[in-house]
Structure 1
Amino acid sequence: MRKQGRKEELVQSKYFSIDSYFKSPPNKKIKTAFQDQIEQQLSTLEARKEQCPLCCTMISVESVSMQVHVNGCLDSQQEKAGTSNETTPDCAVDSSQTAQNVETKETVMNQCDMIENVVAEDYPIENDVNDLYETILEEKGKEREGSVKIEDVTSSGVVQHNNESTVKAASGLSRILPSSWKSLFSSSSTVVTPLLQRSTNNALNPPISKQRPCPFYKRVRDTRFTVDAFNFGKISDCDGYFLTHYHSDHYGGLKSKWSHGPIYCSQVTANLVKQELRVDRRYVHPLPMNELYPIPDSNVTIALIDANHCPGSVLFLFIVKMPDGSQVRHLHTGDFRASPRMCLHPLIRQPDNPPINCLYLDTTYLNPQYAFPAQEECIHAVCELVKRELNPEKEIETKKASLLDNWIKKTPDPMNLLNPSSTPNKSRVLIVVGTYTIGKERVFFNIAKMLKCKIYASPKKAKILLCQEDEELKSMMTSNPMEAQVHVGFLRDIRGDIMSNYLRDHQTHFDSLIAFKPTGWTYKSSSSQTSDMKLAPLSHIIIPPSDRTLHISPYYDRGNIKLFGVPYSEHSSFRELASFIASLKIFHIIPTVNINQLQSMKTYFDKWEEEKLTKRIEVVAYPSLNHW
């Protein structure tokens, strides 16, 4: 009776029972049309995902978060390896590593949350994966005779069998899928073959297509040139490749074995390409700034103009001679922070110069919610904050010191009398500024200049900074971290736990730390301000804010560590983009960022162009040549 009673207590379901579950035939699945549809949708979603090569997290390849996340992981690995071309991530293939990744999920999520706040101006896509993959094959190929050679892998990922030994080594391994990151990035194996094995999961390994065609927005109209299009292999109808600046989402695909054609860029970018990517210098052609330069064997004259983005970043002004003898002018901004100085440049200013036929525009922040302050305002606010942190007593109105206090201050320390060379043990504040591989230099440079102190950066970072050929910056740098009060770090490291450990490593010379995280993503307008700006006419959008006061408060304040987010961006804000467009006569605008939002961006462009038709084109009023 007791057993029967217990049996009646079992939970009954109208869909299935425990008995029916075990009595059903093995491997038999009954699916409805709805279930088939759901599985098909899930399969489609899975096919759009790829694994991070380091933390093995599945992230959509169409999202910016994927690109930024992978870049953070790769930067971390590159830092450990010493050089970017020797990076070997340690994401294993087996399930035991996956289990370990689950255990470190909290750590990974913390890193991802931080990386998500980084502006999408330095993220590689599959080019970094291919670079690391080639490095792995090169090293493994030396260890194993008959391995697949790098030259045997075409740009489409197909292994070419050039000899019998290679055929044997690559037997059954005819394709290499960029999406199979987990297997490509194994460092535990000592042979090449496991690196090339395909996963049996078709959802994670969609069929390989032919080499991706170069997108229209990377081709310069009326020419045989492309801009920032190194990720598409050899482009058949391209006579030259232009590089706007040294950020990995722009130089992606450019590596040491480059042989597809000449690369045109600024001198600083050329220094970085040759030093960091080790590209054959015969292909790298640095061009002068602010001068018209005819490109050999072409109908194009080019001019490079400072893009106000990162060191070496430029706008490309293409002046194209047409078959009928007329000229058209195309302006490619790359990534830029728009300023009145650009619109007043002798080669761009209107009506002194003809209109811009095609404007290839950096539309990273073409959204009303991004109305962050000017760079000068951010730097001024940071410097004022540093002053307050270093001299907190000046913030408080103190009463006159008593006679006793004055006497104590004036009385010399007897220990110092015995040892004149000794100095009082003063409290010192360590200042850390987060940066990208290249970018955000103005923040730490201006702090150090104000304090008249040295700047410390890791040997790898210092080597990159020296590529700028800036003598003043060079004179301020030191290789001894204890000599410098301003240290250069990475944006991803501006976290409480990491900064706590960093201060502990330098506690012999510093007893407190303040750190800055400069990025435009830290600032967003309110929902009401955003909605008002969406409906506002161009004449209203370009009006500067009445109150330009910037207050910075810490987002982390514990003990002797304070972390500050600074709305300092090296991309144009929404208002600056509107001011730039309003200052020039432009026939066509071609966005180069957030192409999936093309229609919404076109709405702004059409509306603004309609308003411009009723007014004379002139540079929008500005308080400074450096910002609107």
Structure 2
Amino acid sequence: MESGMISVDKWSSGSQVYFLTHLHADHTVGLSSTWRRGLLYCSRDTAKLFPTKFPDFNLSLIRVVEIGCWHSLSLVSPNSGSATTVYVMAIDANHCPGSLMYLFRGEFGCMLYTGDFRWEKSSNTVEVGRTMLLNALKNEKLDILYLDNTYCNPRFSFPSREVAAREIVDIINAHPEHDIIIGIDSLGKEDLLLYISRTLNIKIWVWPERLQVMHLLGFPDIFTTKTALTRVRAVPRYSFSVETLECLNTLRPTIGIRPSGLPWSMKAVKANENVFGSSRSQTHEPNRDLRSAERSHEYIYTVPYSDHLCFAEIQEFIELLQPVKIKGIVSSLSSNIEPYYFFRHLCGTKQAFWRLHQKLDNEEKLEKVGTVDIKSTIPGTSSVAGRKRKKVQFVNRVSLLRKSGHGVRIADS
């Protein structure tokens, strides 16, 4: 595809149309209420939520992309000046409400941009999406795969979200006299909260802006802003801290639960271990019903509930599609690696020429994984060793492991 036609999650000028995968902040860097650079394509749920994030945005620029249908775009070739048609299909990314991946087809061939996603074997939504994607590709070769490589490292092996959710309910049941604080973002983890509510037959407290999001998304009336109605509260991740929990415990017994892949990512990067899997410590096999939660503080449990693929799931996805070329969409530190390094044998022959220079770059990264200093790579965080009084400082988003610029301008490389 020629440069100057389509951008995904990238909001600078120079493209004719723009696509948004979902509304998490690291995917909207450069997007604002005054943005006017072209038509913006997104899911129906994302369009519903747009005014909550960008109150004065010109909604006439938004175009809803229905899942599972081919949509045609009449664009102009920047090189020849002639008209060209690009076809795009949206597929559920199963990351957060409204999240999509986009399959593009045109004279340039076939490209898939996954955005952030999690495709677990046990999910019915994933099974539908997998069938939809394979039917859309039919016998056509996928030329370029832009892939969520957030946890593209053999050290990252999470259980399914279903297993992690059961662990969280077990933790809550094990503390019947405690208030429960769960740290979440302004979008995402809705399925987890629904599971807790239905399993324990309780309402869940959320802050007012979050309640508005729940109502816009059409979730059942199980959420409340009245603290007297429930002992389980979902709070903004930025307010989830040791200091907050220590203060709450002066009033009544309280524990915090942090559902995220990030603590495991930080631990794996910091550990002095072989990233190819010969570590001295135990790893978590995906989809195993194991006790993977950890008590990281007197009042805090961390649970590997991840909305991104773990390493084994990345491999399964690449094996399913066997693209000619592959590129990770996350530019990060040593916490992850370009997928080409591990999976070049699953790609077409053109891949070797297209990404050959990445091999040396990633070998240098791998050498540093065992010794990287979390304090020096993630501003505002510190290690938790060698202190008289144990403190745990949490990072509030996986995106802090990433560069602020996210997304791509779709073009041949």
User: What is the TM-score of this pair, normalised by structure 1?
Assistant: 0.48
- Do residues 437 (structure 1) and 192 (structure 2) align? no
Name the CA shift for 1:335/1:438 in 2 (closer, same or farther; >3 Å): same
Instruction: Measure, in 2, the Cα distance between the counterparts of 1:319 and 1:492.
Output: 40
Instruction: Measure, in 2, the Cα distance between the counterparts of 1:256 and 1:388.
Output: 45
In structure 2, runs of 5+ residues without a counterpart are: 76-83, 350-413
RMSD value, Cα: 3.1
CA contact (8 A) 2:286 2:312 kept: no
Name the counterpart of 1:588.
325
1:462-501 deviation line (CA, Å, top 9, x unaligned) = 223333233x2xx111221211232111223332320233
Match of 1:284 among 58, 62, 65: 62
Q: How many residue pairs get matched? A: 328
- Do residues 272 (structure 1) and 49 (structure 2) align? yes
Instruction: Measure, in 1, the Cα distance between the counterparts of 2:332 and 2:165.
Output: 32
| Other structure's SS at 1:256 match | coil
Name the counterpart of 2:234.
488
User: What is the TM-score of this pair, normalised by structure 2?
Assistant: 0.71
Instruction: Measure, in 1, the Cα distance between the counterparts of 2:190 and 2:254.
Output: 19
Instruction: Measure, in 2, the Cα distance between the counterparts of 1:239 and 1:457.
Output: 39
| Other structure's SS at 1:302 match | strand
Q: How does 1:67-82 map to 2 (within 5 A)?
A: none
Q: How does 1:564-603 map to 2 (within 5 A)?
A: 564-594=301-331, 601-603=339-341
CA contact (8 A) 1:370 1:573 kept: yes
| Other structure's SS at 1:356 match | coil
The residue identity in structure 2 corresponding to 1:241 is: Y
Instruction: Measure, in 2, the Cα distance between the counterparts of 1:440 and 1:347.
Output: 24
Q: How does 1:162-177 map to 2 (within 5 A)?
A: none
Q: How does 1:242-261 map to 2 (within 5 A)?
A: 242-261=19-38
Name the CA shift for 1:600/1:290 in 2 (closer, same or farther; >3 Å): closer
The residue identity in structure 2 corresponding to 1:605 is: F
Shift of 1:533: 6.4
The residue identity in structure 1 corresponding to 2:318 is: I
Name the CA shift for 1:353/1:489 in 2 (closer, same or farther; >3 Å): farther
Instruction: Measure, in 1, the Cα distance between the counterparts of 2:142 and 2:169.
Output: 39
1:8-40 deviation line (CA, Å, top 9, x unaligned) = xxxxxxxxxxxxxxxxxxxxxxxxxxxxxxxxx
Shift of 1:319: 2.2
CA contact (8 A) 1:368 1:533 kept: no
Instruction: Measure, in 1, the Cα distance between the counterparts of 2:263 and 2:333.
Output: 23
Instruction: Measure, in 2, the Cα distance between the counterparts of 1:228 and 1:477.
Output: 31
Name the CA shift for 1:365/1:553 in 2 (closer, same or farther; >3 Å): closer
Instruction: Measure, in 1, the Cα distance between the counterparts of 2:253 and 2:66.
Output: 45
Shift of 1:380: 1.2
| Other structure's SS at 1:445 match | helix
CA contact (8 A) 2:95 2:307 kept: yes
Name the counterpart of 1:171.
none
1:490-532 deviation line (CA, Å, top 9, x unaligned) = 223332320233466xx5xxx4222211111222567656333
Shift of 1:548: 4.1
Instruction: Measure, in 2, the Cα distance between the counterparts of 1:451 and 1:331.
Output: 40
CA contact (8 A) 2:257 2:302 kept: yes
Shift of 1:607: 3.5
Instruction: Measure, in 2, the Cα distance between the counterparts of 1:546 and 1:277.
Output: 37
CA contact (8 A) 1:300 1:319 kept: yes
The residue identity in structure 1 corresponding to 2:28 is: Y
Q: How does 1:100-499 map to 2 (within 5 A)?
A: 224-230=5-11, 232=12, 234-235=13-14, 238-278=15-55, 279-296=57-74, 299-320=85-106, 322=107, 328-340=109-121, 341=126, 344-349=130-135, 352-390=138-176, 428-470=177-219, 472=220, 475-499=221-245
| Other structure's SS at 2:133 match | coil
Name the CA shift for 1:382/1:319 in 2 (closer, same or farther; >3 Å): same
Instruction: Measure, in 1, the Cα distance between the counterparts of 2:286 and 2:206.
Output: 36
The residue identity in structure 2 corresponding to 1:521 is: L
Instruction: Measure, in 1, the Cα distance between the counterparts of 2:26 and 2:330.
Output: 11
Moved >6 Å (runs of 4+): 595-599
Instruction: Measure, in 1, the Cα distance between the counterparts of 2:322 and 2:2.
Output: 18
CA contact (8 A) 1:494 1:563 kept: no
Name the counterpart of 1:512.
253
Shift of 1:608: 3.9
Name the counterpart of 1:604.
342
Aligned-residue sequence identity (percent) comes to 25
The residue identity in structure 2 corresponding to 1:549 is: L
Name the CA shift for 1:545/1:566 in 2 (closer, same or farther; >3 Å): closer
Q: Which has the larger radius of gyration?
A: 1
Higher relative contact order (Cα pairs below 8 Å, separated by 6+ residues): 2
Comparing 343-352 with 443-452, greater Cα deviation is found at 343-352
Shift of 1:604: 1.5
Name the counterpart of 2:296.
555
1:431-485 deviation line (CA, Å, top 9, x unaligned) = 2211112122232221122111112111122223333233x2xx11122121123
Instruction: Measure, in 2, the Cα distance between the counterparts of 1:290 and 1:600.
Output: 29
The residue identity in structure 1 corresponding to 2:63 is: H
Instruction: Measure, in 2, the Cα distance between the counterparts of 1:546 and 1:258.
Output: 42
In structure 1, runs of 5+ residues without a counterpart are: 1-219, 391-427, 535-540, 612-628
CA contact (8 A) 1:268 1:469 kept: no
The residue identity in structure 1 corresponding to 2:114 is: T
Instruction: Measure, in 1, the Cα distance between the counterparts of 2:339 and 2:168.
Output: 33
CA contact (8 A) 1:433 1:443 kept: no
Instruction: Measure, in 2, the Cα distance between the counterparts of 1:546 and 1:261.
Output: 42
